[in-house]
Chain A
Amino acid sequence: DIQMTQSPSTLSASVGDRVTITCRASQTISNWLAWYQQKPGKAPRLLIYDASTLESGVPSRFSGSRSLTEFSLTISSLQPDDFATYYCQQYDNLWTFGQGTKVEVK
């Protein structure tokens, strides 16, 4: 089974900050990785797929990148609406989510 190790588990930041969340896969998954945003009581929302493709309608301040088995989600300038929990998901071999990163107000 492919394990996804996501870090940090919590991130304290301020509006305007550049924020980066990382996910490491236990084996190669090519670019088969997605990022989701989830707010309390809501279903996850797709942000990025295929490691770096921005989903339609998602602000351009969100971006994704890959270096071998390490993947990153970057928010270039954190906005008030971005305080939420973020999850990575691999879909190379079955499906696995990272543990989640809560972005909270500093």
Chain B
Amino acid sequence: QVHLEESGGGVVRPGRSLRLSCAASGFSFSTYLMHWVRQAPGKGLEWVAFISYDGTTKYYADSVKGRFTISRDNSNNTLYLHINSLRGDDTAVYYCARQDSSSVWRNWGQGTLVTVSS
């Protein structure tokens, strides 16, 4: 059974850094493309970042380019999102999602909340 579980969220001061993790299980992690999506409180979904099977190809939303870094550890079945210089508008629930071979996103984690506040 496919399972994605995010962790690493919490209350963080502006300007600090944070690393989110997404632990994958129930499937061959290294054979799937992966994404991070975020949702600010009461707002819509925003795609944040993409990473290829082996981590060599990465794409980012313009809103996070230069501050966010997506990475993966296929040996430990884990996806990461490193966030630098946190700002108030980074406050959101962060979801990881798996992209199937048909480009469809069927599986999502439950999300981890990041709150940026002094």
CA distance A10 to B88 in the complex (A): 27
Please, which residues of chain B bring their CB within 8 A of the CB of A46?
104-106
Q: Which of A32, A36, A49, A97 contacts B47 (CB 8 A)?
A: A97
What's the least CB distance linking B62 to chain A, in Å? 7
For A42, A50, A91, the residue with the greatest tally of chain B CB atoms inside 10 Å of its CB is A91
Per-residue CB contact flags for chain A residues 3-33 toward chain B (1 = under 8 Å, else 0) read 0000000000000000000000000000010
Q: Are A43 and B108 in contact (CB under 8 A)?
A: yes
- Take A43-B110, A43-B111, A94-B59 as given contacts and tell me if A49 and B44 are in contact as well, using a CB distance cutoff of 8 Å: no
What's the least CB distance linking A78 to chain B, in Å? 21
Task: Count how many chain B residues have C-beta atoms less than 8 Å from C-beta atoms of the other chain.
Answer: 18
CA distance A91 to B103 in the complex (A): 7
Main secondary structure of the interface of A (DSSP, over half): loop
Q: Given known contacts A44-B95, A94-B47, A95-B35, what 20 new A-B pairs fall within 8 Å (CB)?
A: A32-B103, A34-B104, A36-B45, A38-B45, A42-B110, A43-B108, A43-B110, A44-B108, A46-B104, A46-B105, A49-B103, A49-B104, A55-B104, A89-B45, A89-B105, A94-B50, A94-B59, A97-B44, A97-B46, A100-B44
A residues sitting closer than 8 Å to B (CB atoms) are 1, 32, 34, 36, 38, 42-44, 46, 49-50, 55, 87, 89, 91, 94-100
Chain A to chain B: the 8 pairs with minimum beta-carbon distance, closest first: A43-B108, A95-B47, A100-B44, A97-B45, A49-B104, A99-B44, A91-B103, A46-B106
